[in-house]
Chains A and B, each alone.
Chain A
Amino acid sequence: MDFGTVIDAALSAALGPQAIVFALAAIGLNVHFGYTGLLNFGQSGFMSIAAFGLAVTVVTWDLPFWLGIIVGMLGAVLLALVLGVPTLRLRADYLAIVTIATSEILRLIFGAVEFKDTFGGSNGLTGFARTYQDMNPYGGGVDLGIVSFSRNDLWSITVGWTLVALSCLLVFALMRSPWGRVLKSIREDEDAVRSLGKNVFAYKMQALVLGGVFGGLAGIFHILKQGSAVPTDFNTTFTFYAYAALLVGGAARVFGPVVGSMIFWFLIAGIGSFFSQATSGADPLLPDWLMTNTQASLIRFILLGLGLMLLMIFRPQGIFGDRREIAIDGR
């Protein structure tokens, strides 16, 4: 057992591009669920519409990269508006079901054979990230001993963590403002806010759009860092993982989603690497009848499911959160 490799894998994942994608998506969920109490289970839908907005604009329509970014973000805004109108007046679990259904609809359409000419079918689209990669100022990768990154990852990390920092700053400023206080009071008691003359529907809609924009940012960053937009990346499991990351860190806290995503990926990659090593080689630590190498990759997801249950039961506020601030009582 080489613990150096395990630590390297865990740290690279916790600081690397994948954790950034989760952090951005979870910041959006934090605005929805943490601050406003909206149960959005379709964050992967916001990600996919922005991602394919960019990819289709650049690859299929052959238009400039920056226009693609704008199209992608407008797609996320539009989706929030379309989703919000029918569901924001309904109970929380209705919003959950509709958002999850919408994200699946989008994923199925983007992956459909019939629309292969536009969205690239199940293989998705590639070749839109040239402008992004050309901006890379780094000459080579970096190796810090316990953790190493390639040249491309280094550029993605620079861009990604900058985006995360700016997003956190924006959320921090907004939630201190009177607007943010209205959102939090909607989470606590919608009817009280309504009786004070606030337009609850409009506030919820604004929160849905803002969180959706963060989701869109996550989607665009996701396809840029890997250079391809693949529909299956945006399945509902992704949203659930992002929720897990948010809840680990603590909802309704500015840094909750960021720290949560880092811890999430540290554990996922660390446990994955540990069990992968424990089952490989000629004389594995765990015998083959107990666990094969394929099964070893599943242990982390079993633990993840178990962890999410235990977290929600015993510490729903996560690491930094405040139990009184979590919208977990159904209305």
Chain B
Amino acid sequence: MRLRLAALLAAVAGVLTLLAPSAALAQATPSPTPPASAGAPAAVNPIVPGANITVTLLDLNGGKGDPKPVPGVGLTVLKDSKDGAEVGSQTTDTKGRVSIGIEGNGTYVVELDPKTLPDGVKLSGNGETVKTVEVKLASSNFVQFQIGAVVVQDASLGSKIVDGTRSGIIAGLLIALAALGLSLIFGTTGLTNFAHGELITFGAIATYIFNRGFGLPVVAAGVLAVIASAAFGYLQDRGLWRPLRRRGTGLIAMMIVSIGLALFLRSIFQYGFGGSTRTLSQYVVQGRQSYGPIDLSHKEIAIVLVSVITIVVTCLALMRTRLGKAMRAVSDNPALSASSGLRVDGVISAVWVLGTALTGLAGVLLAVQQQVNFQMGFNLLLLVFAGVTLGGLGTIWGALIGSLVIGLMVELGPVFGVPASIKEVGALVVLILILLVRPQGILGKAQRIG
């Protein structure tokens, strides 16, 4: 039996916002959903002005294809508790929406009448038809709660592994792009850059600005954001790191400077961008198509292709081209490179440009895959560190392999019993264990690093 999933997308708009989860988990027979049988639903329920509870009932169809609204389902809003006074009752319209006005702040209960669900769709899980909603005075954001990811629990182990592998590979590739940037910069300058997460955020926010601010399509905005990241890296090296190297500042001092820079940049991002999470204008919600055993959306295919091609081209360039060889030479022994006639400072500049461009690209793709937030890069920073350390600090292919392992660890962990809310823990534990057993990483050269 294939499982489908209906979820309630609920939002309270108006003066009072925010509301809570209302979930309908639907289990369906293989037959396609028949249209609503219970009478002709109202064409459109207008959103009540002022404080209201608006619920949209969508059939996510197990994540395949675009979500479809579910019309003709009766929903009732009650005050305080299930036995409280009825505030209003409505039947979902052709958009799957009901909108019921409320008086003000307080606790409300949304009750779904399971008898009015379309034929073949019934509530699964523990069959909860009642959800409690806390309405508080809050910002005027339109918050959506999408419930029903629980359906995964009903999926077979095989499909869970396939799903986890898919998200793991995508996460791993995004981490790998950033990790390659970090590894390049670390290799040539020895700097453990704690501001690297902010370079990811920079790419994402630049995409958002070019996309929403200047109205460019997402693809063009992404290209411009990568160029902007590269320029940002060049200026950062010229304005900050090169003068510090000239002064002979120690590596640990530079590490602490990078912490200061990270705090500085993150606060600036929050100042300009705000604390909220925002989306780009295109490719926000995409249904997935089946490709054999794996379901992928178009944007996921694009992300995988872009990152794989970028990583492979970068690695090949580092191994084959003149500049790439110069970068590796400086990374191996700066003094010897300088005495062999290499312009070490020029090479380091090039490394910064390449490294920040790669990291910015990770931010761009992350913005497309998820959403944009001022601390998205900071949240990823430790996983990037883990990927680099696991693969071997300063190695080229190590960053890729280490990051893929980390991405898979994070996304497959919940399948094998790691609590889902702390799935990053598994990857961080691996980071610590690998240092115990093989501190130079998977591909690192066995040398004294103590």
Could you name 27 residue pairs across A and B whose Cβ atoms are closer than 8 Å?
A87-B435, A90-B439, A93-B255, A96-B192, A97-B385, A100-B385, A104-B424, A104-B428, A105-B425, A105-B428, A108-B422, A112-B422, A114-B419, A237-B263, A240-B259, A240-B263, A243-B256, A243-B259, A298-B271, A302-B264, A305-B261, A305-B262, A305-B264, A305-B267, A309-B264, A310-B260, A327-B252
Interface of A is mostly: helix
Complex Cα gap A142–B276 (Å): 40
Interface of B is mostly: helix
Chain B residues closer than 8 Å to A237, beta-carbon distance: 263
Contact B432 A102 (CB under 8 A): yes
Complex Cα gap A305–B421 (Å): 30
Contact A96 B264 (CB under 8 A): no
B162 interfacial by beta-carbon distance below 8 Å = no
A7 interfacial by beta-carbon distance below 8 Å = no
Q: Which residue of the partner chain B has the closest CB to A87? A: B435
Contact B431 A98 (CB under 8 A): yes
- Given contacts A96-B192, A114-B419, whether A305 and B260 have CB atoms under 8 Å apart is yes
- Given contacts A90-B449, A316-B253, whether A113 and B419 have CB atoms under 8 Å apart is yes
Contact A309 B422 (CB under 8 A): no
Complex Cα gap A97–B268 (Å): 25
Complex Cα gap A102–B436 (Å): 14
A-B pairs with the 8 shortest C-beta distances? A330-B251, A305-B264, A308-B260, A305-B263, A329-B250, A309-B260, A114-B419, A328-B253
A-B contact count (CB 8 A): 136
List residues 292-331 of chain A with CB under 8 A from any CB of chain B: 294-295, 298-299, 301-302, 304-313, 316, 326-330
Complex Cα gap A307–B264 (Å): 9
On chain B, the number of residues with a Cβ less than 8 Å from chain A's Cβ atoms is: 44
List residues 393-449 of chain B with CB under 8 A from any CB of chain A: 419, 421-422, 424-425, 428-429, 431-432, 435-436, 439, 449
On chain A, the number of residues with a Cβ less than 8 Å from chain B's Cβ atoms is: 52
B450 interfacial by beta-carbon distance below 8 Å = yes
B270 interfacial by beta-carbon distance below 8 Å = yes
B265 interfacial by beta-carbon distance below 8 Å = yes
Contact B190 A89 (CB under 8 A): no
Contact B435 A90 (CB under 8 A): yes
B389 interfacial by beta-carbon distance below 8 Å = yes
A64 interfacial by beta-carbon distance below 8 Å = no
Chain B residues closer than 8 Å to A295, beta-carbon distance: 271
Complex Cα gap A93–B431 (Å): 14
A109 interfacial by beta-carbon distance below 8 Å = yes
Contact B422 A329 (CB under 8 A): no
Complex Cα gap A94–B251 (Å): 13
Q: Which of A92, A105, A114 sits near B421, CB closer than 8 Å?
A: A114
Expressed in whole angstroms, the minimum distance between the Cβ of B115 and any Cβ of chain A is 32
A91 interfacial by beta-carbon distance below 8 Å = yes
A86 interfacial by beta-carbon distance below 8 Å = yes
B10 interfacial by beta-carbon distance below 8 Å = no
B15 interfacial by beta-carbon distance below 8 Å = no
Expressed in whole angstroms, the minimum distance between the Cβ of B437 and any Cβ of chain A is 9
A286 interfacial by beta-carbon distance below 8 Å = no
Chain B residues closer than 8 Å to A294, beta-carbon distance: 274-275
List residues 224-273 of chain A with CB under 8 A from any CB of chain B: 237, 240, 243-244, 247
